[in-house]
Amino acid sequence: MSVKRVLQYGEKSLREPSKEVHKVSKKIQDLVQDLLDTMYAKNGVGMAAPQIGVNYRVFVVDVSKNDEPLNPLVFINPKIIKKSGAIIAQEGCISFPEAYTDVKRYKNIMVKALDVHGRPFVMEAKDGCLLARAIQHENDHLDGILFIDHCVNRFETDKILQEHHLPPVEPDMLIEDPVLDEELESKND
């Protein structure tokens, strides 16, 4: 299909929740191809439909390394059904060019979704691997949540955003997750 324009942080539709996909039609399959084309063109690890201005619950991920063959994964109507553990890791986002900050994520997740042909599947990603973090990151986009909403240090993140001429963190959007925070604190004890 084609490479689409990626919305940048500050554009309103990145904060809007996405609609369920009722049928994996040709239109949805074309959207998946646009997401893949755009993600690869931008050297990304993941891309969610809202990032190209389409508010459907669809995202793609490919965590293959430079020397590995491409391994695109498609998630339609994803739901994270299990999560445990905690990790802090640096994240960035194609909608935030060159801006990276430390965020809190679950270490282990299980997700159920439909593939590009509308078939259901369940996938597990463990040990804080890139796949586990990418699925959480892209899934958040479908609810209008951005990676900076999980930042470890709001003021440091504001500084990074300012350096990249991006709007500051929206304090009322910061995610409160007592389970995750407790898990991280117990690791520091």
Distance of CA 65 to the CA centre of its chain: 18
Sign of CA dihedral 24, 129, 87, 127: positive
Q: How far apart are CA 39 and CA 35, in angstroms?
A: 6
Q: Is 186 left (phi over 0), alpha (psi -120 to 50) or beta?
A: alpha
Distance of CA 29 to the CA centre of its chain: 19
DSSP letters along 103-152, please? EEE-SEEEEEEE-TTS-EEEEEE-TT-HHHHHHHHHHHHTTT--GGGGBS
* Active-site residue (options: 138, 156, 176, 185): 138
Annotation marks residue 138 as catalytic? yes
Q: What's the confidence (pLDDT) of residue 167?
A: 95
Domains of the chain by residue range: 12-188
The CATH class given to the 12-188 domain equals: alpha beta
Q: What's the confidence (pLDDT) of residue 189?
A: 63
- pLDDT by residue for the chain (189 residues), tens only, comes to 699 999 999 999 999 999 999 999 999 999 999 999 999 999 999 999 999 999 999 999 999 988 899 999 999 999 999 999 999 999 999 999 999 999 999 999 999 999 999 999 999 999 989 999 999 999 999 999 999 999 999 999 999 999 999 999 999 999 989 988 888 888 766
